[in-house]
Amino acid sequence: MESKLTTNLDIMPNYSYVFEFENEFQHSKCRQWMTENWTVAFYYVGIYMAFIFGGQYYMQNRPRFELRRTLMVWNCGLAAFSIMGACRMLPEFYHVLKNHGLYYSICVPSFIEVDRVAGFWTYMFVLSKLPELGDTVFIVLRKKPLIFLHWYHHITVLLYTWYSFTEYTSSARWFVVMNYCVHSVMYSYYALVSMGKYPPRAFAMLITALQLTQMVVGCAINIWAANYIATAPPHTCHISNINLKLSMAMYFSYFVLFAQFFYKAYLSSKPGKKAKVEPLPEAPRMKKVAAQYEAFPRQRNGVVAH
């Protein structure tokens, strides 16, 4: 049943402004398209993996691409998108928690079925996981280190989010809001770096700490969801058992990998470790700074890149 944005204000937040493209969002049509096409994501993953290994082989004896201006535009675009998504999703998230409680926030997918604003930005979030694979394109073409966590994270998130949208997985309300918020900070950080502005080392640590917190909360939401599924009347919590297992395995594996990265990047006492993660100070001789900066990879999605 299509919702009307001007009704059911006891369920929906009172947005101060609704864009026309949000008001025209029809979740049923988007769900139908995703149900018919979500498996196409496996083809994208295949192309992605071919590019990673083929691209690294192609670039190994060739000079790297600079792509600094392109990277700056890319990071600014993703930062703006994430900030907008967070701003549009948070009102619904806060309203549901305040007025309906934890069970409703985990088990009822009203953020897609009732709220057109949150529904639109949830759908945009799902679709955005495809262009976000472009992060890896920059790493390969600029010949930066690419570790397992980076491409594993991108692949599994793409497949899981596209699949979950076909089921209207209700716990996704939490996952989408958390990811938008973390990406708002993360891509803003990378946008500054791509402009030649180097935030303090503590800011990079904060990003990884936020990512770790996201994984802990994700695991906790899945545990609550499992309890609700087991104790509530059948089919009242809109999460399938297979989705719950996939989500739990994914979030737990992320936590292990991000924790390992955090330890190696910020806590390990190996010689030279601090220099590899500490942003360089600004200096008048920008060419020298840029050359030094290139020697120390930066963090992206909790991994070493850029």
DSSP, residue by residue, 76-126: HHHHHHHHHHHHHHHHHHHHHHHHHHHHHHHH--HHHHT-HHHHHHHHHHH
244-280 burial, b if ≥16 CB within 10 A, otherwise e? bebbbebbeebbebbbebbeebbeeeeeeeeeebebe
Separation between Cα atoms, residue 283 and residue 293, nearest integer Å = 11
Q: Where are the beta strands (DSSP E) in the chain?
A: 298-300, 303-305
Kind and range of the H or E run holding 269: none
Per-residue pLDDT at 303: 45
For the annotated catalytic residues, the residue numbers are 153
Question: Rounded to an integer, what is the distance from CA 258 to the centroid of its chain?
Answer: 14
Domain range list for the chain: 38-305
Residue 303 dihedral angles phi and psi, to the nearest 5°: -130, 170
Separation between Cα atoms, residue 239 and residue 83, nearest integer Å = 27
Q: Mapping DSSP to helix (H, G, I), strand (E, B) and coil, where does residue 302 land?
A: coil
Beta bridge partners of 304: 299
pTM attached to this predicted model: 0.85
Per-residue pLDDT at 16: 85
Closest CA to 169 of 122, 241, 239: 239
Residue 300 dihedral angles phi and psi, to the nearest 5°: -140, 125
DSSP type of residue 8 = -
Per-residue pLDDT at 235: 85
Separation between Cα atoms, residue 239 and residue 131, nearest integer Å = 27
Taking the alpha carbons at both ends of the chain, their separation in whole angstroms is 46
User: For the chain (length 306 residues), average pLDDT per consecutive 10?
Assistant: 41 83 95 97 98 96 93 97 97 95 96 96 98 96 93 97 97 98 96 92 93 97 96 92 97 96 84 42 40 43 42
